[in-house]
Amino acid sequence: MIRFRDALGRQREESGYGTQDDAIERLTQLYAEKKTTAPSVAAARRELGQQTVEEYAKQWRPRQRKITDYSTGEHVDSSINVRIVPRLGSRKLNSVTPMVIERFLDEMESDGVGLGNQVNMFRVLKTILRDAYAKGAMADDPVKGVQEPEYVREQVAIPSLAYVKQALAVADEDLALEIVMMAGCGLRNGEARAVNVNNVVAQDVYRVREQIHSNTLKPAKLKHRKVGEFREVPLPRSVREAIERYEAKHGATKDGYLLRGPGGYFTEGMERRRAKRLFTDLPPEKGVGMYGFRHYFASNALGNGIPITDVAEWMGHKSIEETYRTYRHLMPGSITKAARILDAGLWEAA
């Protein structure tokens, strides 16, 4: 416990410091704040700073209107309830310092939390604390200087063209059409499950409007897009013909959907059962899963010299950095090629 006088001269007490270093760091922070902050402002900040991390997180969460509750929202809630609140929930906001956050990260690592989950939980915590900091709950940025856990994305597994062809021959007709949309147009699983004849807007253009979400089992907006937004992707002739053959044989719903299920839509569960049968009948190449067919699209495009900026747009990535981090190994010859071009230019200049 520490005792001090606030900007209004009133004696205060604070508890909840695990070590003497934490207490000293907090007293130093209070002294600096008292010297530089007007009494009325300091009093308002201190009142907010007395809230616990759990209390503030509960107020913060409903204000995040851009978070989609049935997808991103579930991951955020999980980070808060499973890791952040149990570890930091009772700590007052004004006692959260970079040292506290470093200890939180160390504990996650000791608990064996995967690096990907560490990154996600740290980002949620950082967003909450930065929001509190912006409102004056702390005098100093509580995550300043704290390095995000370094998550190195594993190299994606890409099926060979031979395996893709075999999979199309072995899979049932529904799954085969989904695979065609993923490998031929770069669609995500949910987007491929929502394949729709009305999305063929030109002989060589397919408009991706929605996905059949794995949680709601209904049409939903695209990932990284607002409701009503879409993206257009190249429609290879072979993919268009596959769509036409399926429609000629099975028809489409009144809304144009090709793949259907008992509840109306072709759901993630229906895909999963069919994929399990496929991979049992045709053992996949090392590391390949359903998402590998989407990776094949990127491999095919980048391997044939299509600019990574176009590939990023067609795949619906949030940024080109995501595309580069995921598929940089598919461009191994770019540096060698550049060296040859630059060398030729130098000799010509000489």
Q: Kindly report the backbone phi and psi dihedral angles of residue 21, in degrees, each rounded to the nearest multiple of 5, phi listed first.
A: -60, -40
- Higher-confidence position of 117 and 67: 117
Residue with tokens 């031979």: 162
Cα distance between residue 171 and residue 179, in whole Å: 9
Pair 51, 137: CB distance under 8 Å: yes
Give per-residue pLDDT as tens, 170-204. Answer: 999 999 999 999 999 999 999 999 999 999 999 99
The model's confidence at residue 62, banded by pLDDT at 50, 70 and 90, is confident
Give per-residue pLDDT as tens, 260-316. Answer: 998 899 999 999 999 999 999 999 999 899 999 999 999 999 888 888 999 999 999
Residues 6 or more apart whose Cβ sits within 8 Å of residue 13: 1, 2, 3
3-class SS at 207? strand
Identify the structural domains of the chain with CATH numbers, from first to last: 2-134 (1.10.150.130), 161-334 (1.10.443.10)
Residue with tokens 């992707």: 233
Q: Which of 28-32, 197-201, 225-229 has the lowest mean pLDDT?
A: 28-32
Q: Report, as an integer, the average pLDDT of 103-123.
A: 87
Residues 6 or more apart whose Cβ sits within 8 Å of residue 101: 122, 125, 129, 142, 143, 146
Cα distance between residue 277 and residue 157, in whole Å: 20
Residues 6 or more apart whose Cβ sits within 8 Å of residue 107: 87
Give 3-state DSSP helix, strand, coil % of the chain, rounded to 5.
55, 10, 35
- Residue 40, CA distances (Å) to 28, 34, 184 in order: 20, 11, 63
Task: For residue 64, give the DSSP letter.
Answer: -
